[in-house]
Amino acid sequence: MSKYTTNEEESQCLPNRLGLTRPGEIAEAEFEGFLLAEIMLTETLTTATRFDCQYIRNIHKLALKELYTFAGRYRTVNMSKGGFLFPSALFIPQSMQFFEDEILKKLPDTYPDKASLAKDVAIVHGELLFIHPFREGNGRTARILANLMVRKQGYEGLRFDKIHFRDYVVAVQRVSEKNYLPMQRIIETIF
């Protein structure tokens, strides 16, 4: 069974460059790609690093370029998960541009305290998950971005392994109402 429901007919496994057909093999290749991308981006992270849509697309491309032709590209299919419909693929470019203009460009270079940083990480993380711009790897891309945001400020990465999944899903859904408090509480808990 696929993780997502889409408006296209496809098998359980997405077509990929490596010809992998078993979900476990694909999961392992994706895991390795995201791990290497996070290591590389952490090593090149500086206080001058700016997070924008191109940077986010680069995270995705670095992680999945060996596996998928769509790496770093916005999705062209509509998707839902567990009955929750993500924004239409038709509006992804505009949604991401709005996200960049109204949220990413307004992020400060430094934060006065951990609470202020946690609030902005929650907003960025929640909005990116809600928009769901990619065909695959949205959560992992958003988690890498969140980790890079806190590492840029001199902190260790977030402990995403401590999240209660159901609370996390609800927090993402609240973002659609511009209610960031549930996500902020989660980020504060794993900081």
Structural domains in the chain, CATH included, are: 3-76+84-188 (1.10.3290.10)
Query: Does pLDDT of 183 surpass 50?
Result: yes
Mean pLDDT, to the nearest integer, of 7-22? 72
Query: Does pLDDT of 70 surpass 80?
Result: yes
Which residues touch 38 (CB under 8 Å, ≥6 apart)?
A: 144, 147
Query: Does pLDDT of 2 surpass 50?
Result: no
**At 84, is the pLDDT very low, low, confident or very high (cuts 50, 70, 90)?**
confident
pLDDT in the model for residue 9: 47
Q: What does pTM read for this prediction?
A: 0.91
% residues pLDDT > 90 (the chain): 82
**At 85, is the pLDDT very low, low, confident or very high (cuts 50, 70, 90)?**
confident
**At 157, is the pLDDT very low, low, confident or very high (cuts 50, 70, 90)?**
very high
Query: Does pLDDT of 152 surpass 90?
Result: yes
Segments of the chain assigned E as strands: 5-6, 79-81, 84-85
Give the pLDDT confidence of 92-121 residue by residue, as tens digits.
999 999 999 999 999 999 999 999 999 999
Query: Does pLDDT of 3 surpass 70?
Result: no
Distances (CA, A) of 59 to 82, 89, 133, 145, 176: 26, 20, 13, 8, 24
Query: Does pLDDT of 11 surpass 90?
Result: no
Q: Which amino acid is at 3?
A: K
pLDDT in the model for residue 42: 98
Query: Does pLDDT of 6 surpass 60?
Result: no
C-alpha to C-alpha distance for 118 and 77, rounded to whole angstroms: 32
